[in-house]
Amino acid sequence: MTNLRPRRGAARIAAVVFVVAAAAALVLAPACGEDEDELKIAFLADFSGPLAEFGPEIQTGVELAIQHVNDAGGVNGQDVVLVTGDTQVDPAIGVEEARRLVEVEGVHAIVGPLSSSVTIAVAESVTGEAGVPTISPSATSPSVTVAEDNGFLFRSTISDAAQAPVLAELVSRLGVTNVGVLYLNDAYGQGLAEGFEASYGGTATLVSLEDGQASYLAELEKAAGGGGTHLVAISFPAQAKVYIREALENGIFERFVFVDGTKSEELIAEIGAQFLEGSPGTAPASPESEASAAWDAAYIEAFGELPSRPFVREAYDATIALALAAEAAGSLEGAAIRDALVGVASPGGLTVLPGAEGVRAGLEAVRDGDDVNYEGAATTLDWNADGDVTSGFVGIWTYLGGAIVEQMVVPFSLP
């Protein structure tokens, strides 16, 4: 919930202090007017609750993007301002936070929320009606596609309509013909579990679970009731660390397959690397490319090493796309920014890469009236009419040696 203004350096701050001290009355009046022209982007995510380990690291992607934009002159001549909110992975709280961000903070666009259920609730209850462009970096449920959002909801990650078939193929390639599936009873868990079941050629016993339970033994026993040899874990780390431990301690399951929501270093620490060793999973991914290499270099320069959690690249991409769209629109009106989003990330015009130099070149081209095509750090942002990216990659990864090791990426395309 903190307002963050990326700094431009001590020299600028010193100059501002000098001017204010010398002529405060002359400076304060215009400053109030200038604030109205600043693009305010909210990062509405999770800093507490089941996804607490994801929020802070994903925010680094947003912060890096804003730093690159502001170092290139900002949007419409003003620095972009970051405001944050915590949904706690609770749709009701997410809606309250979204209202605060829109009605009190006056944000012009939102990156987030992270979970699909909260994303849908926010879009249908707040941002769609208010006309605030919203790009989730991580809401993967197919239900996001049909949210009643008045055309203001986008995502910079793939739909589970793409991840589910890859997950099913992964399980089949393991030679596994019968699995139990535990899935979180929300839009994300249900969508991915049902998509997996529809794509999988073997037997799958699906059992839903609720967040916040002290034990999932009953659900585990139901999932094992169909004779499955592996457990497909479709949830978040907060639930997985409970039921994976119970599965092992009670001899219910010893082999697991994971997804993006259970791709977690916290899970390694909680369960023990030896018990997860060799367990594979799927998640949205980005292949080696000029765009991803540029982003990797920029992120390492800023933070020392690449992020360990997913969706940081997607958050960066969402922020850059919003900034380019606002610059192209020449306006902070939500509808104008929304209408410009597809154009700044479509084929044609100058290819804009992630990183400080690429973002600067892209903003300068937009200011000159030229067309641009932002190539995302995670994937190309060729959005369709529903705000879904139409192509991208699903990664296959494995828990190995106490770490998460990327194995391969599989391309996909959607209508």
- Regarding the domain with residue range 3-157+311-383, which homologous superfamily does it belong to in the CATH classification? Response regulator (3.40.50.2300)
Q: Which of 392, 350, 393 is nearest to 374 (CA)?
A: 350
103 token code pair: 């009605």
- Regarding the domain with residue range 161-286+394-413, which homologous superfamily does it belong to in the CATH classification? Response regulator (3.40.50.2300)
Q: What is the pLDDT of residue 35?
A: 53
What span, in angstroms and rounded, lies between the C-alpha atoms of 174 and 281? 12
Q: What is the pLDDT of residue 15?
A: 37
CATH topology agreement for domains 3-157+311-383 and 161-286+394-413? yes
Question: Phi/psi of residue 116, each to 5°?
Answer: -65, -45
Domain ranges of the chain: 3-157+311-383, 161-286+394-413
Q: What is the pLDDT of residue 158?
A: 92
Contact partners, residue 173, CB within 8 Å, separation at least 6 = none
Q: Which of 355, 349, 338 is nearest to 372 (CA)?
A: 349
Contact partners, residue 336, CB within 8 Å, separation at least 6 = 329, 330
62 token code pair: 């947003």
Q: Are strands 391-400 and 403-413 parallel, antiparallel or unpaired?
A: antiparallel
Question: What are the DSSP calls for 264-293, one per residue?
Answer: -HHHHHHH-HHHHTT-EEEEEE--S-HHHH
Q: Which of 6, 155, 16 is nearest to 71 (CA)?
A: 6
**Which single residue is written with the structure tokens 């907060």?**
238
pTM here? 0.87
Q: What is the pLDDT of residue 369?
A: 97
Q: Which of 385, 326, 365, 317 is nearest to 156 (CA)?
A: 317
Q: What is the pLDDT of residue 34?
A: 43
Q: pLDDT in tens for each of the 415 residues of the chain?
A: 334 433 333 333 333 333 333 333 333 333 333 456 899 999 999 999 999 999 999 999 999 999 999 999 999 999 999 999 999 999 999 999 999 999 999 999 999 999 999 999 999 999 999 999 999 999 999 999 999 999 999 999 999 999 999 999 999 999 999 999 999 999 999 999 999 999 999 999 999 999 999 999 999 999 999 999 999 999 999 999 999 999 999 999 999 999 999 999 999 999 999 999 999 999 999 888 999 999 999 999 999 999 988 899 999 999 999 999 999 999 999 999 999 999 999 998 999 999 999 999 999 999 999 999 999 999 999 999 999 999 999 999 999 999 999 999 999 887 6
With the C-alpha atoms ordered 147, 152, 157, 161, is the resulting torsion angle positive or negative? Answer: positive
User: Cα-Cα-Cα-Cα dihedral of 315, 52, 186, 251, to 10°?
Assistant: 120
Q: 214-236: buried (b, 16+ CB within 10 Å) or exposed (e) per residue?
A: eebbebbebbbeeebebbbbbbb
